[in-house]
């Protein structure tokens, strides 16, 4: 990477290297129209932030800039030479107004200086981590991490001369004792899958400060609607946009947000990995984000009602939901999420996996599918989906018990969802 920027390194008048120049001013691209709506709430930002109304036609709403390349101008050549390709219309893998538009909306929602959108959550995670690590670096991460991330950390880092230690996501003492001399990153998920454990973000950020480490958090399960992690001192937030951010189960995407300085470091890694989001997917994501706050409000409210119903049901052994007083970290959830919640619920049914499978077959509304965060309720069993790559012993160790069901509560009418569970549980225990 250094090599390709070598000519630039020698060009700067003050002798600084562009890549590390912390004072580098943001160059505004054509779609970066200061549409941050910073003084407004999430519902307003969701609708308006980042939108690029075409000045030529007066069309309201961001057009789909479905092109791979752009006419080169004097300013483009200059930008290429100075390594500022990120903000110029040159080539879509580098940047495209459709990407900038949705990146501005995301930055507004995350309270971030800068964001990048990727082809998938995994593209965002792998590019972010590779950009932030050097040969020999060590990461502390969580045993409860998403399977794809676990595989990347466990199987691939070693080949790059890096290493990882997995700890509990909730035990700060264990996390601290895993820190080594060459540790560079604390990488966790704000709300874990499937047991909905809450990572204590403030304590993690304090550890990061104490040991001079970067704190990077995957916020896919909570989203910036439920917690603004950058405001809590986290350095970088990644999301699988496939889930709540897009919310319609019709695209794969990923995001990273943070300071311009750090996000600018991830951009060249994204170029090399080739993971920049296609303009049409950008359009879908920006359009979906317009209802983001509306959707999240309903996901949260529906999940709270359904969790309360399930907890009171005699055939349900245990419900995992941060909004319930029975959740082990309920008080942390209250303070960290400031009254917000989560749209995800996990619960254990009497009769184990056999009864769990029967329940799924009797439900009419929740679709039996992996993934989460769609407008439709989605239901699955972690043992044979998200945690299938773990051995039975590993599943037990992280609390994946027989009969555990994961539910992403959709935005259907909550009375319909509850009636559906009522009839399906009755049929399950009659059969």
Ligand X SMILES: Cc1ncc(COP(=O)(O)O)c(C=O)c1O
CB of 253 to ligand X, least distance (A): 6
What count of other Cβ atoms lies within 10 Å of the Cβ of residue 114?
23
CB of 193 to ligand X, least distance (A): 6
The span from the CA of 132 to the CA of 151, in Å, is 18
The span from the CA of 6 to the CA of 266, in Å, is 18
User: Closest CB to ligand X belongs to which residue?
Assistant: 121
CB of 169 to ligand X, least distance (A): 12
Pick 97 or 194: Cβ nearer ligand X: 194
- 367-368/378-380 β-pairing: parallel
The span from the CA of 215 to the CA of 198, in Å, is 15
CA end-to-end distance (rounded Å), the chain: 62
CB of 70 to ligand X, least distance (A): 28
CB of 62 to ligand X, least distance (A): 22
Pick 252 or 365: Cβ nearer ligand X: 252
Residue with tokens 């903000």: 87
Return the structure tokens found at 320.
């995992």
Pick 323 or 373: Cβ nearer ligand X: 373
CB of 41 to ligand X, least distance (A): 26
What count of other Cβ atoms lies within 10 Å of the Cβ of residue 172?
16
The span from the CA of 369 to the CA of 360, in Å, is 10
Is-contact 379 266, C-beta < 8 A? no
Handedness of CA 130, 132, 133, 138 (dihedral sign): negative
Interface residue list for ligand X (CB under 6 A): 120-122, 146, 148, 189, 193, 218, 220-221, 240, 242, 252, 254
The span from the CA of 336 to the CA of 334, in Å, is 6
Pick 79 or 130: Cβ nearer ligand X: 130
CB of 242 to ligand X, least distance (A): 4
Return the structure tokens found at 145.
């991490």
Pick 31 or 229: Cβ nearer ligand X: 229
CB of 239 to ligand X, least distance (A): 8
Pick 51 or 193: Cβ nearer ligand X: 193
Distances (CA, A) of 380 to 278, 346, 429: 29, 10, 19
Pick 254 or 323: Cβ nearer ligand X: 254
The span from the CA of 236 to the CA of 260, in Å, is 10
Pick 120 or 298: Cβ nearer ligand X: 120
């Amino acid at each position: 990477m250094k090599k390709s920027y070598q000519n630039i390194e020698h060009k700067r008048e003050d002798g600084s290297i562009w890549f590390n120049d912390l004072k580098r001013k943001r160059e505004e691209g054509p779609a970066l129209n200061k549409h941050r709506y910073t003084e407004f709430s999430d519902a307003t930002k969701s609708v308006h932030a980042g939108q690029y109304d075409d000045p030529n036609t007066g069309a309201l709403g961001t057009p789909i800039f479905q092109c791979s390349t752009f006419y080169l101008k004097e300013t483009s050549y200059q930008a290429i030479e100075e390594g500022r390709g990120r903000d110029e219309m040159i080539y879509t893998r580098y940047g495209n107004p459709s990407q900038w538009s949705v990146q501005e909306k995301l930055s507004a929602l995350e309270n971030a200086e800068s964001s990048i959108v990727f082809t998938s959550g995994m593209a965002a995670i792998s590019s972010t981590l590779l950009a932030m690590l050097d040969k020999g670096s060590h990461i502390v991460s969580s045993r409860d991490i998403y399977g794809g991330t676990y595989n990347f950390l466990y199987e691939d880092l070693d080949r790059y001369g890096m290493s990882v230690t997995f700890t509990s996501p909730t035990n700060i003492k264990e996390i601290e004792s895993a820190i080594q001399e060459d540790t560079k990153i604390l990488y966790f998920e704000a709300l874990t899958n499937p047991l909905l454990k809450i990572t204590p973000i403030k304590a993690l950020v304090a550890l990061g400060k104490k040991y001079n480490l970067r704190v990077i958090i995957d916020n896919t399960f909570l989203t910036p609607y439920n917690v603004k992690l950058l405001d809590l001192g986290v350095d970088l937030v990644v999301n699988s946009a496939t889930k709540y951010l897009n919310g319609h189960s019709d695209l794969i995407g990923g995001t990273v947000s943070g300071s311009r300085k750090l996000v600018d470091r991830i951009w060249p890694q994204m170029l090399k990995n080739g993971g920049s989001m296609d303009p049409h997917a950008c359009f879908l994501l920006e359009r979906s984000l317009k209802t983001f706050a509306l959707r999240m409000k309903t996901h949260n409210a529906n999940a709270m009602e359904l969790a309360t119903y399930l907890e009171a049901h005699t055939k349900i052994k245990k419900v995992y939901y941060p909004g319930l007083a029975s959740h082990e970290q309920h008080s942390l959830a209250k303070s960290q999420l400031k009254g917000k919640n989560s749209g995800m619920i996990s619960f254990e049914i009497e009769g184990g996996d056999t009864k769990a499978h029967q329940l799924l077959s009797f439900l009419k509304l929740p679709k039996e599918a992996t993934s989460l965060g769609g407008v439709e309720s989605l239901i699955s069993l972690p043992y044979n989906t998200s945690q299938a790559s773990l051995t039975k012993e590993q599943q037990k160790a992280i609390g994946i018990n027989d009969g555990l069901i994961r539910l992403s509560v959709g935005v259907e009418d909550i009375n319909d969802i509850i009636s559906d569970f009522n009839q399906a549980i009755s049929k399950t225990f009659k059969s």
